[in-house]
A and B are shown apart, each in its own frame.
Chain A
């Protein structure tokens, strides 16, 4: 039996960064908001404090804060000629499942994506001609500009306590910051984190090579801070347990300690945890959505929650899955190239070198999530000519540490046996002496990299799993080769005792090991309903009272971490709903 609940103004599916921001903003504007979250309520006080933290086995090996694949997962394959099989254990990426979502266990790297991404097709066509972009590379302009998003980036940076150094204040290049960044109106709310030996050595070598190192902007408070909403942050203690963990010092900008508690104190807001949304419901003509259906996963009770506005704010992959399950919009067909829902799934790539310096002590157990220096000379620097190298996209290179844990962090020079007493001797000898230089690279959209519903496998609710088809293309392989060469040149200039060189990847993508929780696309944004699922306000072209918020709207993936634009777009959408949609419900952009 399905219990039909009382109508509300807004239902929010998933309560992480995007759901938290929208719930807070819309409840404050007077709308009645209900958030429905799969995961449990957890708090800094009870859960992210000793003795429940700094537990690598629980959080890293057993994925305590992550999605449970026994209930729902994806099937995966590299190309349409293969049969997709279910991913029965998380590996390559780790979606969160808890109040706060992946915003609890992220490292805090917060970037501003620029017009280099938002106008990607126009930029490359203008500079290199239409033929430079391969036929099967389905990249497109996003329909939004950096200038539109700038104030919302700032809002997110000030909410999440981002520590960093401006590189371009209103067009004026700032010493020590990232000279390639787009102009910002204000500096970061907090100064950069204290550099560590590895990031300083990388910075020196990069500077000597003519590059422009700067401290990585991160939502790890470098000192105590009170954000504009009144949330108090402690200073980062460099505990070394950042990525995969809730922060015990209240120093990592996370939704569960910023926007969500503010929403919770608002009588207009209600949260239902352990509740799984199975479907977005539509009117019979399919022009509007009417609410969502969900199941209480503790007792199996089923509910229908009617709402005037539905906001899909789950993890990117789950937003796409819900759209496909609910039949909103036309599913994408990579062969006929019709439809849009499921199109342009993108991921990230990279290359890394490990450098060993006998006699140096890097103290790899002591760092912040963002203890890293970065160069963007091959990233948002449009002065870097991609022409001779023949690839579209970019990569950033960083040196430093983030969360090197006692069980998993065992750097040894290549050639060391993988087990036994010699391996033990080597891990003891090299543990303190190693540092990493790594590149994070973009992945451009390809017509065959996409999502649809799996024809065979079902989840715990009897619904088809979502099928992911993905592999790297020649474009990414070429970029990987360039990145590996740059890394190896910088590394060689540092004269390490030993080096495990960076190697460009050419093997197919697989679900193991962990690579990056930066999955993008599937319900992409754009300028018209033929090429995209949502408009620039993340509003569905098909149903105007449905907004789909998250990295699922990115038409391609950049080299940067996605949370900066994810947070900014959530504030941007909240503003559009408050100032435009509520007054005059209907399409915010003419189709």
Chain B
């Protein structure tokens, strides 16, 4: 795939999911699901681990945390993190951003993702 084609595909994927409605999640259950992420991601500002800090993730452009070495794929993905885009990403990280560095196969259950995102909406502020 050329770079342009990849950007187009990512944008198309982003637009496609903007329209889907998501069920509201349970932040308490979501905190437990965050254990899937916690070996690499913190919620503290500036505390990057194997993955970037998730502090203030919502509304941020993908690949935008200072001092973190992102994959070229993530940097040019054109994604802005919203509950919708994050849901799509966590469901299939390599599907949405092929070639990104996150070694996580994905969270299969929609309800689990909704819970996780509800937790992140509270805890990443």
Contact = CB atoms under 8 A, between A and B. Distances in A.
A371 B47 CA distance: 34
Interface string A32-55: 000000000000111001110000
Given A224-B35, A232-B39, A237 B50 contact: no
A557 to B, nearest CB: 34
A118 to B, nearest CB: 35
Contacts of A45: 48-50
Interface string B62-81: 00000001010000000000
Nearest to A238: B105
Interface in A226-281: 226, 232-235, 237-239, 248-251
A251 B40 CA distance: 10
A44 B50 contact: yes
A224 B103 contact: no
Nearest to A224: B35
Interface in B18-70: 35-40, 48-50, 69
B104 A237 contact: yes
B38 A50 contact: no
A234 B36 contact: yes
B39 A239 contact: no
A49 B35 CA distance: 20
A49 B38 contact: no
B6 interface: no
A525 B37 CA distance: 43
Contacts of A237: 103-105
A233 B39 contact: yes
Specify the main secondary structure of chain B where it touches its partner.
loop
Given A50-B71, A233-B39, A249 B49 contact: no
Interface in A180-234: 223-226, 232-234
B85 to A, nearest CB: 21
Q: Which of A44, A226, A232, A235 has the most CB of B within 10 A?
A: A232
Interface string B96-108: 0000010111000
Interface in B85-125: 101, 103-105
B102 to A, nearest CB: 9
A336 B40 CA distance: 57
A49 B50 CA distance: 8
A238 B105 CA distance: 9
Contacts of A223: 35
A226 B49 CA distance: 15
Interface residues of B, number: 15
Contacts of B69: 46
Contacts of B36: 224, 234-235
A160 to B, nearest CB: 14
Contact of B40 (A46, A234, A238, A239): A234
A288 B48 CA distance: 46
B35 A50 contact: no
Nearest to B48: A45
Nearest to B106: A237
B86 to A, nearest CB: 18
A322 B35 CA distance: 43
B101 A49 contact: yes
A221 to B, nearest CB: 8
Given A44-B50, A250-B50, A224 B104 contact: no
Contacts of A233: 39
Interface centre among A44, A226, A234, A237 (most CB of B within 10 A): A234
Contacts of A239: 103
A50 B50 contact: no
A235 B37 CA distance: 9
B40 A250 contact: yes
A321 B71 CA distance: 43
A250 B50 CA distance: 8
Nearest to B38: A232
A235 B105 CA distance: 10
A253 to B, nearest CB: 12
Nearest to A247: B103
A224 B38 contact: yes
Given A233-B39, A234-B36, A235-B36, A50 B103 contact: yes
Contact of B104 (A44, A51, A232, A249): A249
A49 B74 CA distance: 15
A248 B48 CA distance: 15
Nearest to B100: A50
A4 to B, nearest CB: 39
A248 B103 contact: yes
Nearest to B72: A51
A233 B39 CA distance: 5
Contacts of B49: 45
Contacts of B101: 49-51
Contacts of A235: 36
A249 B39 contact: yes
Contacts of A50: 71, 101, 103
Nearest to B36: A224
Nearest to A225: B35
Contacts of A49: 50, 101, 103
Contacts of B48: 45
Contacts of B40: 234, 249-250
Contacts of A46: 69
5 contacts: A49-B101, A233-B39, A237-B104, A248-B103, A250-B39
Interface of A: 44-46, 49-51, 223-226, 232-235, 237-239, 248-251
Given A50-B101, A237-B103, 16 more contacts: A45-B49, A45-B50, A49-B103, A50-B103, A224-B35, A224-B39, A226-B35, A232-B35, A232-B38, A232-B39, A233-B39, A234-B36, A249-B40, A249-B104, A250-B40, A250-B50
Which 7 A-B pairs have CB atoms at the shortest separation, nearest pair first? Answer: A234-B39, A224-B35, A250-B39, A50-B101, A248-B103, A232-B39, A249-B103
